[in-house]
Amino acid sequence: MFRSRVVVTALVALVPALSGPAQSVAQEPALTPTAAAPARTTPPPPPLMPIALAGDAERGAVLAQTCEGCHGIPGAFNASPAYHVPKLGGQNADYIEVALQGYRRGTRGHATMQAQASSLTDQDIADVAAHFAGIAGDPDPGRLSASAAQIEAGRAKAATCVACHGAEGVAGAPQWPNLAGQHESYLIQALEQYKSGKRVDMVMSPLIAPLDEASLEELAAFFSAQAHLHNTD
């Protein structure tokens, strides 16, 4: 069964809401300014979409064996910078597809993930996404160290996230990521990458750019404190 595609114009309409890292775009470098040819940039490629292929979860389980060393260990840490490896249990398959395409295209910065994704075909990505999305588990908060005050401050700031991520961090559409129950340190890392440009997204990048570090930490604290995602051990 084909998954429904997102209309690009809908993304533009959602820009006022802080949305998930569902679409990644890359931009060509500007031309050198000259008198004859003023500086300009070429239009970015279209936003990434979920793959229009049915995923085979059994085949995806075989392909995903290389993922188990990190995503199959609850509480596993990425070494540098140090943050908890994200939970994938309960995540939307469409979003996993978009994320893997972003690593494959290079608009998400993580050397190991880029290397893994570069070898995957579209069918491979659809199968891996089906596998992880289909793993059952108990909803659980993420690992966090924030105070109750930070969590409540994040709740207020997250009002702009509702259109895509839902009031409590459970996405209303499958191409957006569920944030509820994700690890705090991972969410902070992802938000910082949007701010620095290591992740490029036509919706997220301009929305995160003006936020200070305290706001990023508060948003991460709120979503991490909600119970939804689970480990895939």
Chain segment 203-218, per-residue pLDDT in tens:
898 899 999 999 999 9
Is the omega angle on the peptide bond into residue 29 within 30 degrees of 0, that is, cis?
no
pLDDT band at 112 (very low <50, low <70, confident <90, very high): very high
Domain count, the chain: 1
85 part of a folded domain: yes
156 part of a folded domain: yes
What per-residue confidence (pLDDT) applies to 41?
Answer: 55
What per-residue confidence (pLDDT) applies to 42?
Answer: 52
Share of the chain above pLDDT 70, in %: 80
What per-residue confidence (pLDDT) applies to 27?
Answer: 40
210 part of a folded domain: yes
pLDDT > 70? residue 3: no
Task: Find the DSSP H helices in 158-212.
Answer: 162-165, 184-196, 204-208
pLDDT > 80? residue 26: no
pLDDT > 70? residue 20: no
By residue range, what is the domain housing residue 216?
A: 54-225
The CATH number linked to 98 is 1.10.760.10
Q: What share of the chain is helix, strand, coil (3-state, %, to 5)?
A: 45, 5, 50
21, 175 Cβ separation under 8 angstroms: no
Cα-based torsion angle of the residue sequence 115, 185, 221, 158 in order, rounded to the nearest 10 degrees: -30
Average pLDDT, the chain: 84
Q: b/e string for 181-198 if b means 16 or more Cβ within 10 A?
A: bbbbbbbbbbbbbbbeee
pLDDT > 70? residue 32: no
Dihedrals phi, psi of 89, to nearest 5 degrees: -65, 125
Query: Which residue(s) pair with 78 in the sheet?
Result: 83
pLDDT band at 4 (very low <50, low <70, confident <90, very high): very low
89 part of a folded domain: yes
Where is pLDDT greater, at 181 or 17?
181
What per-residue confidence (pLDDT) applies to 7?
Answer: 35
In whole angstroms, give the CA distance from residue 195 to residue 204.
Answer: 9
Q: What is the mean pLDDT of residues 48-76?
A: 95
Burial of 232 (0-12, 13-18, 19+ CB in 10 A): buried
41 part of a folded domain: no
Q: What is the mean pLDDT of residues 153-175?
A: 94
Where is pLDDT greater, at 199 or 94?
94
Q: What is the mean pLDDT of residues 136-144?
A: 95
What per-residue confidence (pLDDT) applies to 201?
Answer: 86
Lowest mean pLDDT of 5-9, 63-67, 196-200, name the range: 5-9
Specify the DSSP element, H or E, that contains 213.
helix 213-225
